[in-house]
Amino acid sequence: MISYSGLDEAGLTRLAGRLAGAVASGGVIHLAGPLGSGKTTFARALLGALGVRTRIKSPTYSLIESYDLGALGALHLDLYRIAAAEEVEWLGLRDYAGGRWLWLIEWPERAPEAIPAPDLIVRLAHAGDARDVALVATTALGRQWLEQSGFIETRQAGTVS
């Protein structure tokens, strides 16, 4: 786990932007943290760094927004308004199986069984006026992202840890 304390908005934006090169082949990022902790800010910064030039709306009401980035498609979800996993059914997430999708999911804990499991969890917390951020890789792909974007050192072949 990588953690940063007391990041201002510019710092959080830079941190999200650093991941862009690594995640461009697709995967799943869960954005966890209380109301107003910076989940949408992180998603916007990452999508912007990936090349989204249109306005990036918070999916608070639409629940899902998608972006076409050529070879990569990005899906930005906000499940805050979901009360039960069954309510995610009508989003038709199965249609996005296969292909190269990058998932950015706010409030994943609302319907964990209805969404893809994370490769990386971004945990955000209020820290006064700033934010604490933790990056937790939960798969080999997530770990690779953190290595490629320089957050953690590349594990040497033969190293046991």
Ligand X SMILES: Nc1ncnc2c1ncn2[C@@H]1O[C@H](COP(=O)(O)OP(=O)(O)OP(=O)(O)O)[C@@H](O)[C@H]1O
Under DSSP, the state recorded for 15 is H
Q: Are 120 and 142 in contact (CB under 8 A)?
A: yes
From the list ligand X, Mg ion, none, partner contacted by residue 130 (C-beta under 5 to 8 A by kind):
ligand X
From the list Mg ion, ligand X, none, partner contacted by residue 33 (C-beta under 5 to 8 A by kind):
ligand X
In whole angstroms, the minimum distance from the beta carbon of 91 to Mg ion comes to 17
DSSP letters, 131-146, are EEEEEEE-SHHHHHHH
Evaluated on CA atoms 106, 6, 135, 66, the torsion sign reads: positive
- In single-letter form, the type of residue at position 112 comes to P
Q: Which helix H or strand E contains 121, and what residues bound it?
A: strand 120-127
In whole angstroms, the minimum distance from the beta carbon of 59 to ligand X comes to 9
From the list ligand X, Mg ion, none, partner contacted by residue 52 (C-beta under 5 to 8 A by kind):
none
From the list Mg ion, ligand X, none, partner contacted by residue 144 (C-beta under 5 to 8 A by kind):
none
Binding site for ligand X (CB under 6 A): 7-9, 12, 33, 35-41, 78, 106, 129-131
Q: Are 118 and 55 in contact (CB under 8 A)?
A: no
In whole angstroms, the minimum distance from the beta carbon of 50 to ligand X comes to 17
Binding site for Mg ion (CB under 5 A): 39-40, 106
